[in-house]
Amino acid sequence: MTYELNTAQMLKNQMGELAADKHVKYIISIEKKKDSFESMVMEHLRMNGAYWGLTTLDLLGKLDAVDKEEVISWLMQCQHESGGFAGNIGHDPHILYTLSAVQVLALFDKLDVLDIDKVSNYISGLQNEDGSFSGDIWGEVDTRFSYIAICCLSILHRLDKMDVDKAVNYIISCKNLDGGFGCTPGGESHAGQIFCCVAALAITGALHHVDKDLLGWWLCERQVKSGGLNGRPEKLPDVCYSWWVLSSLIMIDRVHWISKEKLVKYILDCQDLENGGISDRPDDAVDIFHTYFGVAGLSLLEYPGLKAIDPSYALPDDVVNRIFFGK
């Protein structure tokens, strides 16, 4: 115990401290300031914002700071008759918001309010003949939507409603010679798409299709001098890649190929120590998206005092255990 405390203190001394209370206040204040600039730009993707904010609160052990019934009542009003969820009340449904809605209900242990068949029919109905997934009725295809469909149906215990073999084959067809993945066949490797493809393969037990050493090299080369990670060669570092790159490295067992200490320090340097929140780069304006990815990244890095997060489902470990093992 003394040893553990000393290690935690040592880490904090070396790398700075997470302003956890400030971040909790920042997240709660966004919800209250409905006419702020950030709330206005978030209006159409409020469901994603709810997932980012609430998951961050849960990782910080503060999910009870929000009114659960109020959130669930709003969330259920975002469901469309097709079974899919929209980003806000009265908007059109999309697979992006459907995953966030399911994840928020999972956080609150409230998946039982859903008509599971209705939601899973909406998702499986978006699978195309070649195994890919569209995001909504307008038909855009992207490996982001393959991940979302697989993650969502897995959480709902309904993976049997899609053609998993075809879905996996489509993802493999998006693999590049550098070991990474793009959004469609031939698309450039990008850390965000790599997360989607690796996590989808992890959930479906198909990680043997990944060349772990080749992809591990590409991913670890994303760490730049400041300790931060970028999403592609020659690009600037950004806190959100602490999630996209790091979770992928963990899923393929190559996380020891980057400097964890330097990355912790980079994320902590992106905090607004006065008003809370985390930005993409030091001294930029904070937002809820990067606050989530900063805290989730620190959780993957085992920063003291945070709940552990699952790298493939992007939900706290205890939530994932409850879904699959009922505890």
25 binds ligand GRG (CB under 6 A): no
3-state secondary structure 72-135: HHHHHHCECCCCCEECCCCCCECHHHHHHHHHHHHHCCCHHHCCHHHHHHHHHCCECCCCCEEC
Residue 31 sits in the site that holds ligand GRG (CB under 6 A): no
Residue number, 193 or 204, with CB nearest to Zn ion: 193
State yes or no: residue 58 binds ligand GRG (CB under 6 A).
no
For residue 144, the partner it binds in Zn ion, ligand GRG, none, with Cβ less than 5 to 8 A by kind, is ligand GRG
Position of tokens 């992928």? 248
Q: What is the CA radius of gyration of the chain?
A: 19
Question: Which position among 182, 192, 276, 311 is part of the footprint of ligand GRG (CB under 6 A)?
Answer: 192
Which tokens is 72 given? 């669930």
Number of residues that bind ligand GRG (CB under 6 A): 15
DSSP SS3 for 178 = coil
Which of the listed partners (Zn ion, ligand GRG, none) does 237 bind, with a CB threshold of 5 to 8 Å by partner kind?
Answer: none
SS (H, E, C) 204-236: CCCHHHCCHHHHHHHHHCCECCCCCECCCCCCC
For the bound state, the minimum distance from the C-beta of residue 14 to ligand GRG, rounded and expressed in Å, comes to 28
Give me the 85-124 binding string for ligand GRG, x by CB under 6 A, dash otherwise: -----------x----------------------------
Q: Does 152 bind Zn ion (CB under 5 A)?
A: no
Q: By beta-carbon distance, which residue lies closest to ligand GRG?
A: 192
| 310 within 8 A of 318, measured Cβ to Cβ | no
Q: Given candidates 148, 156, 162, 174, which one binds ligand GRG under the rule CB under 6 A?
A: 148
- For residue 235, the partner it binds in ligand GRG, Zn ion, none, with Cβ less than 5 to 8 A by kind, is ligand GRG
What is the torsional sign of CA 92, 85, 60, 230? Answer: negative
SS3 309: strand
CB of 281 to Zn ion, least distance (A): 9
The minimum distance between CB 293 and Zn ion, in angstroms, equals 7
Binding of residue 235 to ligand GRG (CB under 6 A): yes
Q: Is 280 in the site for Zn ion (CB under 5 A)?
A: yes
Tell me, what amino acid is at 248?
S
Residue 193's binding partner out of ligand GRG, Zn ion, none, with CB under 5 to 8 Å set by partner kind:
ligand GRG
Length of the chain in terms of residues written? 327
Asked if 240 is part of the footprint of Zn ion (rule: CB under 5 A), the reply reads yes
Q: Determine whether 186 is exposed, middle or buried from the number of CB atoms within 10 Å of its CB (0-12, 13-18, 19+).
A: exposed
Largest CA distance in the chain: 58
Residues touching Zn ion: how many (CB under 5 A)?
3
Sites of contact with ligand GRG (CB under 6 A): 96, 144, 147-148, 192-193, 195-196, 231-232, 235, 238, 240, 244, 314
